[in-house]
Amino acid sequence: MTEIGSEELITIGVLARASGLTPSALRFYDDCGLLVPARVDGATGYRYYRESQCVRAVMIRQLRGIAVPLEVISEILAGDVEQAARLLDAHVLELRRQADEAAVVARRIKSTIGDEATWQTVLSAATLAAAIDQVRSAADRTGEIPVLAGVLIEASAGLLTLTATDRYRLSTRTMALSRPAADWSLVVDATDLASIGSWLREAEEVTVAPAAGALVLVAGDIEHRCRTIDDSFPDYRAMLAGLAPVRTRVLVIRDRLLDMTEGYDGTIIFSVEAAELILSRADGRTERLPVTLTGPGIDLAFAATTLSPAIRAALGPEIMLDIAAPDLPVLIRSATDGDLTTLVMPTAHPNSKGHKV
């Protein structure tokens, strides 16, 4: 044993046995600054502690035992008794909240254990909310074809896919499921889906399942039902598979392109050549945007009201436009997210020369 002042020092092994912490844990808490040795041997690197530090070591073990984060432990041990009490009370409340959530999840799982044919799927509520926002704007609002006023929702192979189209635009988004289930599909009223966005964004996980005439969504103790449309949705996969080969690919800054389309209801002329995209509007506004071009240049046109929602839904700072011809659907994708795909139909452009040589 050695001494500093009048207090005897103990080895790391003695402190480990007395506090219930392992030597490796004590070394870790030294590195974190929570329990610094009184002396470290310069030659061997061996750590020595004051006997009085055993009290602090035991407290650290107890706090870690109830999952108090390291940064909070540091504040608790700082010496302010009232602050320590507030922090401990807040942590206990958080533990109770987590326990309540765990109980809900446990009840949900127990209700489906052994039921291999369960239809319930589980996924991130925030992810589903974002997917609904991205896809539902492509649903038809005219009412001419009732099924197109809905969003096709399909659960299959551990994935949930949302698809909508108004014949001029098609958007489809795929998400991974936290808990896969049996395959199912139905068409859900797009207006009903729009009404649950704020609720989903406040939840963590949501259980989704088909029911008679409804899609049932459950998060915590709250259940929502969205109406379904009993009709056959178009075969969008065949449409995507039948797309003509891409001849021109344009990588462009998303926000600058969006700025030209937002709030405008006319036609926008696209002229792509070399490393530049020239955008022209009937109101006289023109923009020149730098692009990365693969393939020949091209002239084509879009209705701003059709193009704008597709650009707004795309994620990331850049988007890709895959173009086959001026009169064929253009595939729009986020450069950073391949889970969302949108088709936009160009509009007639009598002055367009099509692809450029």
pLDDT tens across the length of the chain (357 residues): 455 555 689 999 899 899 998 888 898 888 888 999 999 988 888 899 999 899 999 999 999 889 898 889 989 998 789 999 999 999 999 999 888 888 876 766 565 555 544 677 888 999 999 999 989 989 998 888 999 999 999 998 888 999 999 988 999 998 888 777 778 899 999 999 999 999 999 999 999 989 888 999 999 889 999 999 998 999 988 888 888 999 999 998 888 888 888 889 899 999 998 889 999 998 899 999 999 999 999 999 999 988 988 888 877 788 889 999 999 999 988 766 557 889 999 988 756 555 553
Give the CA diameter of the chain.
96
Alpha-carbon distance of 137 to 357, in angstroms, equals 36
Specify the pLDDT at position 85. 93
The answer, as to whether pTM is greater than 0.85, is: no
Distances (CA, A) of 229 to 35, 212, 351: 64, 11, 42
184 closest CA partner among 212, 155, 213, 159? 155
Alpha-carbon distance of 62 to 124, in angstroms, equals 33
Buried b (16+ CB within 10 A) or exposed e, 236-251: beeeeeeeeeebbbbe
Alpha-carbon distance of 127 to 112, in angstroms, equals 23
| DSSP bridge pairs for 330 | 344
Alpha-carbon distance of 87 to 73, in angstroms, equals 9
Alpha-carbon distance of 312 to 261, in angstroms, equals 10
Alpha-carbon distance of 127 to 175, in angstroms, equals 8
